[in-house]
Structure formats: C-alpha cells, structure tokens
Chains A and B, each alone.
Chain A
Amino acid sequence: MTSSARSTSHWLLHYGLLAFYVAFALFPLYWLLKVSVTPNDLLYSEGIRLWPSRSSLAHYTFVLAHSDFPLFFKNSVIVSGSTAVLVTLIAALSGYAMSRFDFRGKMWLVGLMLITQMFPLVMLVAPIFKLFSPLGLTNSLTGLVIVYTAFNVPFATFLMQSFFDGIPKDLEEAAMIDGASRFRAFRQIILPLTLPGVAATLGFVFTAAWSELLFALMLVSKADASTFPVGLLGFVSKFSVDFGQMMAAGVLALIPACLFFLLIQRYLVQGLTAGAVKG
C-alpha cells in the first residue's frame, strides 16, 4: 500500500469511528424528534420507519397550548437558573479559598465535602422532607433551589478550585501590590481569567438541576411548583403513554440547555491565561 493510500484509509477509519459514535450517541435524540412529529394515528400503524410518511406539529401545539407544560418549563428555568448562579457564586469563592489559603481544618472540610458525594441521594429524601415541611419549603421552588445548591456546591467547589490552581498566584499578588485588595484582585484579575471554569461550572450545575427528578418529585406535589421532568411523567397515565406529546415536551426541554451551552461554549474552549506569565 502506498503511503497516501494508507493515510486515506487512516482518515476513513478515524472519521468512520467518530461518525459511528456520534450516530450512536445522538440516535435517541433523533428518535425523540421523529416521534414528536409523528401524528398519533401513524405512531403504531407504520411500523419502524426512519421518518413518518406524514409529519405534524400537533403534539407541540397541544403541549404548549393545552397542557401545564409552559408552567413546568418556567419553573425549571427559575430553579435551574438560580441554582446554577448560586452554586457558581459560592463555588467560586470557596474554590478560591481552597486553592489559595491554608487554614485549620482544611483537610477535614475537604473530607466532609467528599463524603456528601458518597451516598445515594434517595436516602436523604425522607429527612429532607421532614426538615422542609415545617419550614414551608415543600411545594416551593425555593426549597428545590436550596436542595440542589447544597448537593452541587461540593463538586462545583472542587471544579472551581482546579481552575484557580491553574492561575498563577503571582497575578493576584501583582494586583495586590498595584493597590488592589484581595477581593478586588479576585474580582478584576482572577475571575475574568477563570471564565472558562465559571462557564463549565454554570453548565454542569444547570444541566444537573434541569434534569433532576428525585427531589422534584418528592418535595413537590402541586402542579404550580413542579418542574418539567415531573411534568413529563404526567404524560404517563394509568392506561396509556402519550408518546407524541411526551417527546414534543422533551424536545422543547432540550432547547434551553442547548441555548445555554451555545452561550457559554466560547468560554469553555478558550484558554484565557495565555501570555500571563512566561511561556
């Protein structure tokens, strides 16, 4: 085999494998879309086809106009958005402290934070319900935000800490000598350089809260405080599953997550620290 033939076959293999993986990973999403535009009467009558012979947006219209889905959607946006912002704010501060300061009990704190990640959350549902109930935090979006924030802060702190570790200490020391307080140096010098980390943390927490079902189901029983994963369950009734509407709702639920990542992807891929120190 000549070398150009070999490199062509390498190329084919390389991209062939990638294409296979992408197709494999994205196929369920494709199926989601396909079912969401398939009219009910074709759903079971056409057999397995890659695209229905006739498509319609009827499921979308129904979901948007005749179900509680817009409310669930709004609740989800509020809960996930607030959780993401809150967690990132706390994690940025605590991650910075973990990265830059040595303080008594630091190892214990790290240990404790690790422990919170170790056991199944389902164990905590009952005690948290008991705690929240007298405080009026069940059936409330605030309650969900508090729970999600509590469970996401440890991991987000480790994430942010690793980003801060990558930024030379000299930078904030230079700023502090230039006349900035430590907090100002953090805000004006370090934080702008950690935007990729902030974006990653925001994205991670947002998607985690967006798709959380367990606590959303257990702590909320009224429709007006339900998030969309709970809402999706509403399409399952005792005798049937409304696949078309459920899939349409699923597609709609993907939109904010996609938009969110589109917004932050610039920061996710950017290496902002280039040129800071010798290189």
Chain B
Amino acid sequence: MASIDIQGVRKSYGTVPVLHNVDLSIQDGEFVVLVGPSGCGKSTLLRMVAGLEGITSGAIRIGERVVNELAPKDRDIAMVFQSYALYPHMTVRDNMNYSLRLRRTPAERMAHVVSAAASKLGLDTFLDRKPRTLSGGQRQRVAMGRSIVRQPQAFLFDEPLSNLDARLREQMRVEIKKLHRDLGTTSIYVTHDQVEAMTLADRIVAMNGGVVQQVGTPLDLYERPTNLFVAGFIGSPAINIINAVLRHDGEQRLIALESGERIPAPPRVGGHDGQAVKVGIRPEDVQISAQAEGDFAGHVELVEPMGLGTIVHLGTAHHALKAFVVERVNYPVGTNIAYRLPASKLHIFDAKTGQRLPE
C-alpha cells in the first residue's frame, strides 16, 4: 500500500488543455472518489496515475517514487475498467492469475491466492469458465478478483459499476466498500454518479472542466459546497438555486429574493450591500406546510412520491422550488402551500463567480 501524490499535474492534447494544475494528496489506505460530469478530466487523471496517459507537466508519486516515466507494469497498481476488460480467451482462473504468472509466482501460492480471492467474491464455481458465459455482475467480480490477487500498492476504479443495472450496482457498491474495509488498500475511484461518490468515499474530489472544484469528505461537499457547481452536482434531488441580492439594513443582513421577498441572511455571511448572489437550499431543508404556517406562499405544481419520501415541486411568484419531505403527502396540484427557507440552511454564492461567499 502507498500514498499517492499528484502535484501540479497538467494534461493537454495538442493545444487543447484537459487538466489544469491538479494538486491532490491521497493518504495511504484512503478511498478517494473523483466525481464530475463527462469530460471533466476525471478518467484522464486516473489513467495518468495508471500510466496509460502521459503527463504534460507536474509529477505523480506513488509511495516515494515519482512515476511520471514509469510504464504501467512497473507502477504496481491494479485497475478495474468500466468495460471489465477480461481476457476473453482465458478462463476466469487464468484471468485472475495472469498478473501472478507474469511475476513468476510459484504455482502453489498462485492457486492459493486465486482460490482465496474467488471465495471472497463468490466466484468459486466459475473458475474454469470463460468470461462470455458469465453475467455482467459476475464479470465485474472477476475484474475485481483480478485486481485483488495482486495485492497492489493501489486500486484504480474507472466507473466500474456504470454498466450494471441499478440493483446490482447497489450490491456491488456495498461489496467494494467491504473489500476496501478488509484490504485497506489505497483506492481512487472515478464515477459520475454522486450517490456512489457519497457512499464510498473517505474523501471526494469534485471536478469540472479539468479543474478540481473541491476536495473534502462527502458531508463537507454536501453541507458546505465551495461553489455553485459542487452545490448543483452533489445531492439528489438537486439543490434549489434562487437569484437574490444582499441587503445590509443597519446591523441586520438580509437577502432580497428576486420575488421581492426578504429573508434573513445566514449568520456570519460576508459580501457587501447590493451584491448579486445566488441562494442555494437543499430540497430537504425547505420547510413546507399546508396550514399556512410559513413565511412565503406558493402552490403545488407536481408531487413525486419516491417511497422513501416525497418531492413536492412548488410554484411561486418568481422561482420554482423543490421540497423533499419524509412524509407521504399527496397534495392535489394547485394546493396552496406555505414554505420557509431557514437562514441557517442557506448557501450563498456570488452570482458572478459562483464561489461561496466567505464567512
């Protein structure tokens, strides 16, 4: 196992830059998830750590070694691909022990390691089968088995669950988490699925447009998003964003929403009088009531029952708003609803830069 240090790494294809000055320190044994929309550079960064892409400038260290110029085979890392990338002409057993054979591992030890990995992943009965006879989930397991037999310095996962159906994805997610708990190997996991990111990560690295937007624990990113992108990307249903202006009224700081309504600003929020801002509030923080117990009035436009709770879409004078409630409410469309936006739950971003206002 080893730490991974990424320092000032840039990547360009010709004149097109795809990664801008990425700095990231991953501790030994940590599970870090790179998350972001397609094309944000997360997979490129992972492939650079793996040695499958060259580094335009900067340095990547695995353990104490700078690996910039090292071939993938010499980096002692294992990778699970989105497409599984199993060797179709080899049996499951041979797929799993290929790396060991390349390292001239004694046959006895190889057999022991492979059977241990197979039983850990529930693959005992498939060892002599070819990958084409396996289901998607089983193939994914073989791909993981192939990685764990190596006991590498680090695991790299490139959207490993994207090709699985929702139920299987959930199951494999739990297995990956357990596996990491048992093995404790440093892992970098790339996904565009923020649920995977939230559930798996020790730390999340949110990326957009080749730039790291925020690094932090899942709850850090959820509760204190550093900019509009992170606020919008993390969380489902997505955060509500409302245009507003900061107002200083003597000692009191207020937020004037575009509807003209005024609400108290969160305590300690910075910014100046008249500054245009965007106010974010998570749907579960919007308090709604059909009994007119609220600050503002709106009406129900749509109700989405989710089983776990209900998403209520509200129409108000100037903005649409989503509220998530745990109760099973079934308001008819058009019902008048009172709602409240608690000051302590508001996220205030500069309207121009999209950055969170300093506190």
Contacts and interface: CB of A to CB of B under 8 A. Distances in A.
Interface in A193-242: 193
A177 B72 contact: yes
B73 A278 contact: no
Contact of B99 (A179, A193, A273, A274): A179
A171 B73 contact: no
B77 interface: yes
Nearest to B129: A275
B222 interface: no
B18 to A, nearest CB: 16
A275 B85 contact: no
Given A170-B81, A173-B52, A275 B134 contact: yes
Interface stretch (B86-94, B119-127, B267-275): B86-94
A173 B89 CA distance: 16
B84 A277 contact: yes
Contacts of B40: none
Given A170-B83, A276-B87, A278-B136, A178 B130 contact: no
A174 interface: yes
Contacts of A171: 85, 87
Given A174-B79, A177-B50, A179-B99, A277 B73 contact: no
Contacts of B79: 173-174, 177
A170 B83 CA distance: 7
Contact of A276 (B50, B86, B150): B86
A168 interface: yes
A272 interface: yes
Contact of A173 (B85, B98, B130): B85
Contacts of A179: 73, 99, 102-103
A171 B132 CA distance: 14
A225 to B, nearest CB: 41
A109 B299 CA distance: 68
Nearest to A274: B132
B186 to A, nearest CB: 15
Nearest to B47: A173
Given A275-B133, A275-B134, A278-B139, A176 B88 contact: no
B131 interface: yes
B163 interface: yes
A168 to B, nearest CB: 6
Nearest to B149: A178
B86 A275 contact: yes
B278 interface: no
Contacts of B132: 274-275, 279
A278 B131 CA distance: 10
Nearest to A279: B132
B71 interface: yes
B119 to A, nearest CB: 21
Interface residues of B, number: 32
B141 interface: no
Interface string B89-117: 10000000011001100000000000000
A181 B134 contact: no
Contact of A176 (B71, B86, B103, B146): B71
A275 B52 contact: no
A274 B139 CA distance: 13
B88 A275 contact: yes
A193 B87 CA distance: 9
A193 B102 contact: no
A175 B78 CA distance: 10
Contacts of A184: 102
B81 A174 contact: yes
Contact of A277 (B75, B85, B98, B99): B85
A209 B3 CA distance: 58
Contacts of B88: 193, 272-276
Contacts of A279: 132
A278 B136 CA distance: 7
A16 interface: no
A275 B95 CA distance: 12
Contacts of A277: 83-86
A177 B78 CA distance: 6
B73 A168 contact: no
A118 B98 CA distance: 45
Contacts of B85: 168, 170-171, 173-174, 276-277
A193 B90 CA distance: 11
Contacts of A174: 79, 81, 85-87, 146
26 contacts: A170-B83, A173-B52, A173-B72, A173-B85, A174-B85, A175-B98, A176-B51, A177-B51, A177-B72, A177-B73, A177-B79, A178-B73, A178-B78, A178-B99, A181-B71, A189-B87, A192-B89, A272-B88, A273-B88, A275-B86, A275-B133, A276-B85, A276-B131, A277-B85, A278-B136, A278-B163
Interface of A: 168, 170-171, 173-181, 184, 189, 192-193, 272-279
9 A-B pairs closest in CB distance: A275-B132, A277-B83, A170-B85, A178-B99, A174-B85, A276-B88, A179-B102, A275-B131, A176-B72
Given A178-B99, A192-B89, 20 more contacts: A168-B83, A168-B85, A171-B85, A173-B72, A173-B81, A175-B98, A177-B50, A177-B52, A177-B75, A178-B78, A178-B98, A181-B73, A272-B89, A274-B132, A275-B131, A275-B133, A276-B86, A278-B83, A278-B139, A278-B163
